[in-house]
Structures are given as C-alpha cells and as structure tokens.
C-alpha cells in the first residue's frame, strides 16, 4: 500500500472520520418525573464528523471504482472511512457507548 496512490478524497474521508473519534461536543440532559428518569444524549462532534467522513468515504468508493492504478488501496481506505464514520454517527446519537 502506497500513500502516493491515495486520492485526496480518500485521505480527506479518513481524516474526517478519525476527527469524529477525537472531537466531541456533548449534550447530556436528565430529568426525573414521578420517579421515572429520562436521559437524552448527543455528541455533535462525533455526529458531524462521522456523517461527513462517511459521505466523503462513499464518494471515494465510487471514484476508486473507476481508477486503474491504486484502486485497491483507495477502496480499502474509503471503506474504512465509511465504517468509522457510521460508528461515529451511532456513537454521536448515543446508540453505542452512550451514557443513557
């Protein structure tokens, strides 16, 4: 795998997806009404960067399919960006690793 074979779109997609793991702006709200506790959580950083990384990764996948040289490397990197991005979106919505 060569770094020089990667397109700018694949590099950007991976960067955005990884930023979703690092940058977090979180909102946590809890309330208790008649003994019933409700909790609401969202991580805007993970949600924003995860969605952007997944979108850019999917565009990178489409672009990589038409390439002759470096096709496999770009498919792998763009696919990893899509998977990390989807994980970040689920984490940002609190479905995975949420405190609620």
Alpha helices in the chain (DSSP H): 8-22, 44-65, 71-92
Using only C-alpha atoms, the chain has a radius of gyration, in whole angstroms, of: 17
Task: Quote the CA–CA distance of 95 and 12 in Å, as a whole number.
Answer: 26
Q: What pLDDT, in 10s, does the model give residues 46-84?
A: 999 999 999 999 999 999 999 888 899 999 999 999 999
pLDDT at 98: 86
Q: How far apart are the first and last CA of the chain?
A: 41
pLDDT at 1: 62
Position with higher pLDDT, 7 vs 5? 7
The pLDDT of residue 3 is above 90:
no
What does the mean pLDDT of the chain come to?
93
């Amino acid at each position: 795998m060569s770094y020089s074979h990667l397109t700018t779109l694949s590099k950007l997609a991976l960067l955005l997806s990884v930023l979703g793991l690092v940058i977090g702006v979180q909102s946590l709200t809890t309330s208790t009404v008649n003994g019933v506790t409700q909790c609401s959580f969202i991580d805007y950083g993970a949600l924003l960067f995860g969605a952007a990384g997944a979108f850019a990764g999917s565009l990178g996948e489409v672009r990589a399919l038409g390439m002759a040289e470096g096709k496999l490397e770009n498919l792998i990197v763009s696919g990893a960006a899509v998977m990390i991005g989807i994980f970040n979106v689920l984490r940002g919505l609190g479905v995975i690793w949420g405190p609620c």
